[in-house]
Amino acid sequence: MTRAGVFGASAMVLDPAFLCSSAMAQTSKPMVFLSAENITGNWDPTAHTTLSQKNVEGFVMGFLTRTPMRLDDPEKTNYELATSIKLLDEHRLEIKLRNDIKFHDGKPFKAEDVKATIEYGALPDRPAQWYPGPTSGLTITTPDDYTVIIDTTKGGYPADLFIFLASFLPIMSATDVKGGPSGPLTQRLNGTGPFKFDGQKGNSTVLKANMDYFHGAPKISEIHFNFVGDATTRMLSLLNGEASIVERLEPEQVATLTKNPKIKTSTIVSVENKYLWFRCSKPPFDNPLVRQAACHAIDRASVLELLGSAGHESSNFVSPVKFGYIDLPNYPKFDPAKCQELLAKAGFPKGKGLPPLEYIVSVGFYPKTKEYGEVITGMLQEQGFPVTLTVLEPAAWNERLYDRPGGGPGHMIDCGWSTGSPEPDLVLRTHFYSKSKRICGIVDPEIDASLDKERNAPTLEARKKILQTETMPLLADKVPALSLFTSVMIHAMQKDLDGLFIYPDGSMDASKATNG
């Protein structure tokens, strides 16, 4: 072969186009969502409380209802798998279902699926524990294939608690549930939603359009739900067009992105409040006076100023988009004199005699947490609290987060709590009831009694009244945690991504969305 022949042959083999081809040439049309949080290793919806995985479920699974939870109408409900939900009496709820729906594996959706989902999810050994009581307190009957009656008489709590939960609990197939916690539920998602679970490859979850979706086939053919831990990387990927939408933007990133003509942002007051949790089961925060004093030392207005667009002012333990929210008149306000008075009353004048205290915050997941952690530490120190700040990356922080016998690590810890339903007990009962007390570790019979009273109220109106006039004010007096603010969910997306509806917990309805 001649030299020219050698070059000719190599030219046939090597395609130099890859060296200069556009990035866009390799970017396909699916909607690429970059998540700030990783998923768990188990697809069973009852096995986790992880927000990113709830977001994936939002695309794939079907729900009896959906609640948009906007500030102007927080209790609005849209019917999905259910056609009506009616309270027959205090303890019986009737749910009528659509009769034209199939699961992604082809199984027709029926009342047995709702029954199986609730009976399985309410088992005491299921980790997520979203239900007001265990399966043993429920009697669920299915008079026909499309009617479900939930009877809570045995549990002793009202059936209306299931009204808000209906918008939050993904409905599983009875066949899958029959396989139990080691069966097909763990291996993949099988729902009735607009997108089908196609597979998991490394950090990418691939979903494909469900052409038989009952509201009509989605226009987007695929969704790639990718975990990308670094905020800058997520933003760069959006800017170069490889990502369609990214979440958990820092306020500075919002300022940069709003100047870009190809990008639009979405800001929604979320269901997530951020809290400073006191470790109530060990000194000194086992004393309510010390907790109150610490709350009066913190100027929440300064924290909000630092957060900028990522925070929304609220004065309650739940988000303003949750059922029962009011600005509590007795919610602790910044008042150094009151702080000193309470410290003296607790036996620690000007903080003298308090043990060294540790405040734990995370960095890398929630926006600006390290920054406001420093501010709060300074405020507490100014009033005499001997506090040191510990900043941890998410895995180490998560390892220290929850209550343990004798009290969780440190004395105060930062964490947000987000549940995609107007139901306030998903926060209040989860955290402040003595049998649950996930983070703060509080055991207080008075709070328990008030939480039981509001749960057992015969009507939603009566429940709202008890929440607003008794339970929530009681919590504001005892402050097992201080809710600092409500998070604002900020997403940025390509301008040509239209029709996407974002719920206040970050889950999305992409069934009517178009991507370019």
CA–CA separation, 225 and 50 (whole Å): 15
Report 61-120 residues binding other proteins (CB under 8 A): none
- Closest among 92, 419, 31, 14 to 225, alpha carbons compared: 31
Backbone angles phi, psi at 356, to 5 degrees: -60, 135
Among the listed residues 200, 267, 381, 468, the single contact to other proteins using CB under 8 A: 200
Q: Smallest distance from the beta carbon of 452 to other proteins, in angstroms?
A: 22
CA–CA separation, 218 and 209 (whole Å): 6
**Residue 10 is a binding residue for other proteins (CB under 8 A):** no
Which of 38, 309 has the CB closer to other proteins? Answer: 38
Class of residue 474 by CB neighbours under 10 A (exposed 0-12, middle 13-18, buried 19+):
middle
- Is the separation of the CB atoms in 146 and 96 below 8 Å? yes
Listed ranges 76-84, 150-158, 400-408, 446-454: which one lies at the site for other proteins (CB under 8 A): 400-408
Q: What x-and-dash track marks residues 238-257 binding other proteins by CB under 8 A?
A: -xxxxx--------------
Q: Smallest distance from the beta carbon of 104 to other proteins, in angstroms?
A: 18
CA–CA separation, 47 and 172 (whole Å): 13
Listed ranges 46-54, 321-329, 459-467, 483-491: which one lies at the site for other proteins (CB under 8 A): 46-54
Q: Where are the alpha helices (DSSP H) in 308-439?
A: 336-345, 369-382, 394-401, 425-432
**Residue 137 is a binding residue for other proteins (CB under 8 A):** no
- Is the separation of the CB atoms in 433 and 478 below 8 Å? no
Q: Tokens standing for 209?
A: 């359009």
Listed ranges 211-219, 230-238, 290-298, 332-340: which one lies at the site for other proteins (CB under 8 A): 230-238
**Residue 181 is a binding residue for other proteins (CB under 8 A):** yes
- Is the separation of the CB atoms in 92 and 159 below 8 Å? yes
- Is the separation of the CB atoms in 258 and 265 below 8 Å? yes
Place of tokens 């100027």: 299
Which of 257, 342 has the CB closer to other proteins? Answer: 257
Among the listed residues 78, 99, 232, 469, the single contact to other proteins using CB under 8 A: 232
Which of 305, 399 has the CB closer to other proteins? Answer: 399
CA–CA separation, 320 and 317 (whole Å): 9
Listed ranges 124-132, 334-342, 351-359, 457-465: which one lies at the site for other proteins (CB under 8 A): 124-132
Place of tokens 């729906």: 101
**Residue 438 is a binding residue for other proteins (CB under 8 A):** yes
Which of 122, 140 has the CB closer to other proteins? Answer: 122
CA–CA separation, 175 and 191 (whole Å): 12
DSSP-assigned letter for residue 186: G
**Residue 201 is a binding residue for other proteins (CB under 8 A):** yes
The single-letter code of the amino acid at 428 is L
**Residue 227 is a binding residue for other proteins (CB under 8 A):** yes
Which of 346, 415 has the CB closer to other proteins? Answer: 415
- Is the separation of the CB atoms in 178 and 112 below 8 Å? no
Number of neighbours of residue 206 by Cβ within 10 angstroms: 17
Q: Smallest distance from the beta carbon of 321 to other proteins, in angstroms?
A: 23
Report 13-42 residues binding other proteins (CB under 8 A): 18-24, 26-27, 37-42
Total interface residues for other proteins by CB under 8 A: 61
Q: Smallest distance from the beta carbon of 52 to other proteins, in angstroms?
A: 8
Residues that bind other proteins (CB under 8 A): 18-24, 26-27, 37-42, 44, 47-50, 52-53, 125, 127-128, 181-182, 186-187, 199-203, 205, 226-230, 232-233, 236-237, 239-243, 393-396, 398-402, 404-405, 438
